[in-house]
Amino acid sequence: MRTIFAYLDPGAGSILLQAVVAGVLGGLFAIKLFWKRIVGFFRGGQKEESDTESTPESKE
């Protein structure tokens, strides 16, 4: 039996959409990670997070 702990209504359409896109986006994500490893290998290791201007500030 499914149990959802959240008090929020996830929305039936939203649940189904996630199931549909998870496959595609999960696959793209795996490719992205794989690509980063290849590039990282050639560049001799680089930062895990991409730091663009709009990264939320983190404590440093």
Binding site for another protein (CB under 8 A): 2-19, 21-30, 32, 52, 54-59
Report the nearest approach of another protein to the CB of residue 2 (Å): 7
Q: Can you say how many angstroms the Cα of residue 48 is from the centroid of all Cα atoms in its chain?
A: 13
Q: Name the residue nearer to another protein (CB basis): 44 or 58.
A: 58
Secondary structure (H, E, C), 38-50: HHHHHHCCCCCCC
Report the nearest approach of another protein to the CB of residue 37 (Å): 15
Contact 49, 55 (CB under 8 A): yes
Report the nearest approach of another protein to the CB of residue 41 (Å): 21
